[in-house]
């Protein structure tokens, strides 16, 4: 994209690379710099715009008419470049095409469906906690709980067979990398794309899915004519793409938050009903999904800047979630605040359709831990996992004291 045609008179500009390993290791300094630079900042390296303040990110997210998703929510523009896989019917679509798949998934993942899972997931969480603690009081909160719990309950809830489930995390990891530039993280995933995509796509077929579960429910919606039979496998694919890495890193984040905020663990122990708010506060604090792009459908004015039609705009969900203009003491993980309104799940018509599933998973496992664990603290340095979109933890060594 040429940058010479931009209204550059006093356009704040950053030559930082949000997808560099240095920034992915610790994105907070860049987020602050972008918020302070102005409402809109040109990322000169990519010729795209950045929004990092809460009000501007929020306003753009709800404005799907002027900031579309149909051109892709990554850096690459689907109207110019071929996407790496057929676009998602939800994430990479706008009304009216977006609406029927969205309605179906919203019902499939809605309160009625989750009521049927609640008891079983509570028991699964207790069982996982017992297994982990039976091996000792030092463990890896990211690997042994954060990754293990979603993989224990979510694929079963969708109804996919056992073989190949180890491909779910690598597939999602690549899908989230693919929203960024064509950098080393994308190159790392490229050799397995055919294998992983082939497997994921095969799991979306009706005859492969269990007779009950989210997958079967999606196919049943196609029987009722709510979506077409051609759409059903792509809607199942959205679950398998968006539903695993996100919850894994979200649960790891809340455990990391507690391990580094011992007073907040004591609050939770005194009031276990805070498990849900703790998860939302962790989603605000860590923002497992850091960024998404939108594309301007027309020249859009934000403050004194005009974002020209067709340009990509990077929404810094993570920066908005720690904007001091919106949040008091934003860097503190604090169960006494009301985190609602955070944009960690997005906002508007594309807001995470799986958020109730994510909350139930997190609530189940945090509650199970709170029943057994008096104190939890770091037992070594956490290790980050770098991804172009996700803020992720590879390892969170912890030591716990039991009741
Ligand atoms: C999708 C999807 C939705 C949200 C996030 C995402 C890879 C994918 O519908 O495939 O990230």
Q: For residue 5, what pLDDT is reported?
A: 53
Q: Which of 76, 85, 89, 91 to mutate to test the pocket of ligand 1 (most atoms within 8 A of CB)?
A: 91
Q: How many CB atoms lie within 10 A of CB 273?
A: 10
352 touches ligand 1 (CB under 6 Å):
no
* Nearest protein Cα to ligand 1, atom 10: 238
238 touches ligand 1 (CB under 6 Å):
yes
Q: For residue 4, what pLDDT is reported?
A: 46
Domain count, the chain: 1
Q: Which of 72, 90, 105, 239 to mutate to test the pocket of ligand 1 (most atoms within 8 A of CB)?
A: 90
Query: Which residues on neighbouring strands pair with residue 355, listed in sequence order?
Result: none
**Cα 240 to Cα 54: distance, rounded to the nearest angstrom:** 29
Q: Which of 179, 201, 241, 287 to mutate to test the pocket of ligand 1 (most atoms within 8 A of CB)?
A: 241
175 touches ligand 1 (CB under 6 Å):
yes
Query: Which residues on neighbouring strands pair with residue 312, listed in sequence order?
Result: 295
176 touches ligand 1 (CB under 6 Å):
yes
pLDDT tens column, 274-290: 999 999 999 999 999 99
| CA nearest to 39, candidates 325, 283, 341, 312 | 325
- pLDDT greater than 90 at residue 121: yes
- pLDDT greater than 50 at residue 26: yes
Q: For residue 1, what pLDDT is reported?
A: 47
Helix, strand or coil, per DSSP, at residue 63: coil
88 touches ligand 1 (CB under 6 Å):
yes
* Nearest protein Cα to ligand 1, atom 4: 242
| CA nearest to 351, candidates 111, 28, 106 | 106
**Minimum-distance ligand 1 atom for the alpha carbon of 175:** 7
The stretches of 159-244 forming alpha helices (DSSP H) are 168-177, 184-189, 193-203, 214-223, 232-242
Per-residue pLDDT averaged across 337-348, rounded? 98
Q: Which domain holds residue 188?
A: 3-402
Residues 6 or more apart whose CB falls under 8 angstroms from that of 57 comprise 51, 315, 316, 317, 319, 320, 343
Average pLDDT, the chain: 97
pLDDT tens column, 287-330: 999 999 999 999 999 999 999 999 999 999 999 999 999 999 99
Q: Decide: 53 and 316 in contact? Cβ < 8 Å.
A: no
**The whole model's pTM is what?**
0.97
CATH number of the structural domain spanning residue 148: 1.10.630.10
**Cα 123 to Cα 363: distance, rounded to the nearest angstrom:** 12
């Amino acid at each position: 994209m040429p940058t010479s045609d931009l209204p550059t008179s006093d356009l704040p500009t950053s030559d930082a690379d949000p997808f560099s390993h240095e920034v992915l290791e610790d994105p907070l300094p860049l987020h602050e710099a972008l918020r302070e630079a102005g409402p809109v900042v040109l990322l000169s390296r990519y010729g795209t715009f950045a929004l990092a303040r809460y009000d501007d990110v929020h306003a753009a997210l709800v404005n799907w008419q002027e900031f579309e998703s149909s051109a892709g929510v990554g850096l690459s523009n689907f109207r110019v470049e071929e996407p790496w896989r057929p676009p998602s019917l939800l994430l990479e679509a706008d009304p009216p095409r977006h609406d029927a798949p969205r309605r179906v998934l919203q019902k499939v993942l809605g309160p009625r469906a989750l009521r049927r899972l609640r008891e079983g997931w509570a028991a699964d969480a207790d069982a996982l906690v017992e297994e982990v603690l039976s091996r000792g009081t030092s463990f890896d909160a990211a690997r042994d709980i954060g990754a293990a719990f979603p993989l224990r309950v979510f694929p079963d809830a969708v109804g996919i067979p056992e073989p190949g489930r180890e491909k779910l995390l690598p597939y999602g990891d690549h899908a989230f990398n693919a929203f960024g530039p064509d950098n080393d993280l994308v190159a790392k995933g490229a050799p397995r794309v055919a294998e992983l995509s082939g497997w994921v796509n095969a799991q979306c077929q009706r005859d492969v899915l269990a007779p009950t579960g989210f997958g079967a429910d999606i196919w049943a919606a196609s029987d009722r004519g709510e979506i077409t039979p051609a759409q059903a496998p792509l809607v199942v694919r959205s679950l398998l793409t968006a539903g695993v890495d996100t919850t894994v890193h979200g649960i790891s984040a809340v455990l990391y938050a507690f391990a580094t905020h011992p007073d907040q663990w004591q609050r939770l122990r005194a009031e276990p009903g805070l498990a849900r708010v703790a998860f939302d506060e962790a989603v605000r604090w860590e923002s497992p999904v850091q960024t998404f792009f939108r594309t301007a459908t027309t020249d859009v004015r934000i403050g004194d800047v005009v974002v020209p039609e067709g340009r990509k705009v990077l929404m810094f969900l993570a920066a908005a979630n720690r904007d001091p203009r919106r949040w008091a003491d934003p860097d503190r993980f604090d169960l006494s605040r009301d985190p609602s309104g955070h944009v960690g799940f997005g906002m508007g018509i594309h807001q995470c359709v799986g958020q109730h599933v994510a909350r139930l998973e997190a609530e189940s496992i945090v509650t199970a831990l709170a029943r057994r664990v008096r104190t939890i603290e770091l037992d070594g340095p956490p290790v980050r996992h770098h991804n172009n979109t996700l803020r992720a933890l590879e390892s969170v060594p912890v030591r716990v004291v039991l009741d």
